Amino acid sequence: MSKPLVAIVGRPNVGKSTLFNRIVGKKVSIVEDMEGVTRDRLYCDAEWCGYNFTLVDTGGLEIKSQDKMWQHIRTQAQMAVDIADVIIYVADGKSGLTANDYEVAEFLRGCNKPIVVAVNKLDNNETENSFDFYELGLGTVVAISAEQSKGIGDLLDEVVEHLPKYDIQQDQGKLNVAIVGKPNAGKSSITNRILGYDRVIVSNIAGTTRDAIDTDFEWQGKKFNIIDTAGIRKKSSVEEGVEQYSVMRSLAAIRRADVVLVVIDAQEGLSEQDVKICGYAHEQGKPSVIVMNKWDTIEKDTYTVNTFNNKILTQLKFMDYFVSEYVSAKTGQRIEKLLIKALEVYEEASKRIATGVLNDVVQDATIAVEPPSDNGKRLKVYYVTQASTNPPTFVFFVNDTNLLHFSYQRYLENALRKAFTFKGTPIRIIVRNKSEKDI
């Protein structure tokens, strides 16, 4: 079961992005006093009173505009509305009820989804300004001020009333493995091989799998959830409608996975689109395995695997920690190794390093290669601590963050990898200032 989805929609410049940021508790969506800033959808996980859900921010709606940009925004919003479990319609309480609100209400009324109306910009608790919005006939109306965080709790109370209860504990002890890649790379065939039966339709016609399909199973006493996904094509090649939903679901599958298997057609080699898919998994902090499928079709010698790995390394310099496996879904060759690799990279991503050991490694690294300096001031790394796992995240406390250049940060990351491996998983480094007097 994937998390319920809550979509925020409304006209331009009513404060949707500010509300989005308030709910998720951090600045994710750009806030700008200019129409059309949020053009595509932005996603972030959120929680309220034990309810876990995914929040999506959409672009401002201009229903009757014939401008191509506004039409694109309307299409993106329509997609979010179609897959949402609950919709928050944000209106401008200062402007009051307008003809445009009625147009958007008509747009939303046909979706047959629960809708909560958030009347925004009521900074001084002028709740009486919100009453007129009941005329839209959309649902419960809540007066809020996203800017001042007023009424947000009341709004979320109304939202979660309509949400199915998502038990985040249900996934504990189970490894969620997303199988992603371009169309026709063999993702569904690999899924069926792993499961040992035909769970999903397999065809040489690209686009056979239209949605992310979850399947629970056990292997050698361990619980897995395999998520087979639709092929992810280049954005310019994706047609509006069903295929856009499919790609959106595939990207969502990466976000909720514990491990990502990126399936690549060995006959074609690593393409630009494959690199983008790998990049998305990397950005989301997911441990991953590069799966070269259709290996049975490749003429091989002693050096073939090394040659392929070197090519991959050239194209995936940003994730040189990658782990690869060469399989054939058709013959079943090395399919079981995918589960072994998935467990290995997840274990790497879950590593927690003792602070003392961590600081010894970093101290040795700074002695071996002197930290950079600028205008006579040299970088000092006072101490390091691991903040979290999945992905492993380390906080470096230094005398001046501006002195830690990218190249030296990369050197320190490599030092951590040399000492602790972290194969198959990205790691995160956060740099913070710490003054001498605090030491």
**Which range, 104-108, 113-117, 225-229, is most confident?**
113-117
Asked whether residue 179 falls in the same domain as residue 137, the answer is no
Asked whether residue 132 falls in the same domain as residue 277, the answer is no
DSSP state of 332: T
Q: In the listed set 110, 136, 160, which residue is the last one of a domain according to the structure?
A: 160
CATH number for 389? 3.30.300.20
pLDDT tops 90 at residue 25:
no
DSSP state of 328: B
pLDDT tops 70 at residue 343:
yes
Is the residue at 232 inside a domain? yes
Is the residue at 70 inside a domain? yes
Total domains in the chain come to 3
pLDDT tops 80 at residue 266:
yes
pLDDT tens string 377-415: 999 999 999 999 999 999 999 999 999 999 999 999 999
pLDDT tops 60 at residue 71:
yes
| Stretch 414-421: mean pLDDT | 96
pLDDT tops 60 at residue 166:
no
In whole angstroms, what is the distance from residue 341 CA to residue 97 CA? Answer: 57
Burial 425-436, CB ≥16 within 10 A → b, else e: bbbebebeebee
At 235 the pLDDT is: 53
pLDDT tops 90 at residue 317:
yes
Asked whether residue 189 falls in the same domain as residue 90, the answer is no
Is the residue at 198 inside a domain? yes
Q: For the ranges 88-97, 141-150, 221-230, which has the lowest average pLDDT?
A: 221-230
Kindly tell me the sign of the dihedral angle through the C-alpha atoms of 242, 246, 251, 253.
positive
**CA 105 and chain centroid, separation:** 30
- The span from the first CA to the last CA of the chain, in angstroms, equals 48
Is the residue at 322 inside a domain? yes
The whole-chain average pLDDT of the chain stands at 84
Burial 250-259, CB ≥16 within 10 A → b, else e: bbbbbbbbbb
Q: For the ranges 33-42, 163-172, 264-273, which has the lowest average pLDDT?
A: 33-42
pLDDT tops 90 at residue 433:
yes
Asked whether residue 372 falls in the same domain as residue 345, the answer is no
In whole angstroms, what is the distance from residue 251 CA to residue 280 CA? Answer: 8
Coil, strand or helix: which one is 9? strand
| Stretch 425-431: mean pLDDT | 96
From the DSSP assignment, how many helices (H) and strands (E) are in the chain? 11, 17
Asked whether residue 81 falls in the same domain as residue 187, the answer is no
In whole angstroms, what is the distance from residue 12 CA to residue 82 CA? Answer: 20
Name the residue with tokens 């959120």.
Answer: 46
For residue 139 the two structure tokens come to: 């649902």
How confident is residue 251, by pLDDT bands cut at 50, 70 and 90?
confident
Asked whether residue 332 falls in the same domain as residue 385, the answer is no
| Stretch 227-237: mean pLDDT | 66
pLDDT tens string 108-133: 888 889 999 999 999 887 788 899 99
Q: In the listed set 125, 160, 195, which residue is the last one of a domain according to the structure?
A: 160
Is the residue at 168 inside a domain? no
Asked whether residue 87 falls in the same domain as residue 66, the answer is yes
DSSP state of 415: H
Asked whether residue 154 falls in the same domain as residue 200, the answer is no
Asked whether residue 199 falls in the same domain as residue 288, the answer is yes
Is the residue at 300 inside a domain? yes
Asked whether residue 121 falls in the same domain as residue 65, the answer is yes
In whole angstroms, what is the distance from residue 332 CA to residue 143 CA? Answer: 58
How confident is residue 167, by pLDDT bands cut at 50, 70 and 90?
low
Coil, strand or helix: which one is 151? coil
Q: In which domain, by residue range, is 193 found?
A: 173-349
Answer for the pair 239, 270: CB distance below 8 angstroms, yes or no: no
Coil, strand or helix: which one is 323? strand
CATH number for 249? 3.40.50.300
Is the residue at 167 inside a domain? no
In whole angstroms, what is the distance from residue 7 CA to residue 114 CA? Answer: 11
At 173 the pLDDT is: 77
**CA 208 and chain centroid, separation:** 24
In whole angstroms, what is the distance from residue 359 CA to residue 432 CA? Answer: 16
pLDDT tops 50 at residue 170:
yes
Nearest to 40 by CA among 233, 251, 213, 282: 251
| Stretch 64-69: mean pLDDT | 71
Kindly tell me the sign of the dihedral angle through the C-alpha atoms of 225, 226, 230, 233.
positive
Answer for the pair 199, 228: CB distance below 8 angstroms, yes or no: yes
Asked whether residue 183 falls in the same domain as residue 122, the answer is no
DSSP 267-284: TT---HHHHHHHHHHHHT
Asked whether residue 403 falls in the same domain as residue 329, the answer is no
The CB density around residue 150, as the number of other CB atoms within 10 Å, is 18
Is the residue at 85 inside a domain? yes
How confident is residue 201, by pLDDT bands cut at 50, 70 and 90?
very low
pLDDT tops 60 at residue 369:
yes
How confident is residue 70, by pLDDT bands cut at 50, 70 and 90?
low
At 195 the pLDDT is: 86
DSSP 158-171: HHHTTSPP--GGGG
The CB density around residue 10, as the number of other CB atoms within 10 Å, is 28
Burial 288-322, CB ≥16 within 10 A → b, else e: bbbbbbbbeeeeeeeeebeebeeebeeebeebebb
Q: In the listed set 327, 349, 371, which residue is the last one of a domain according to the structure?
A: 349
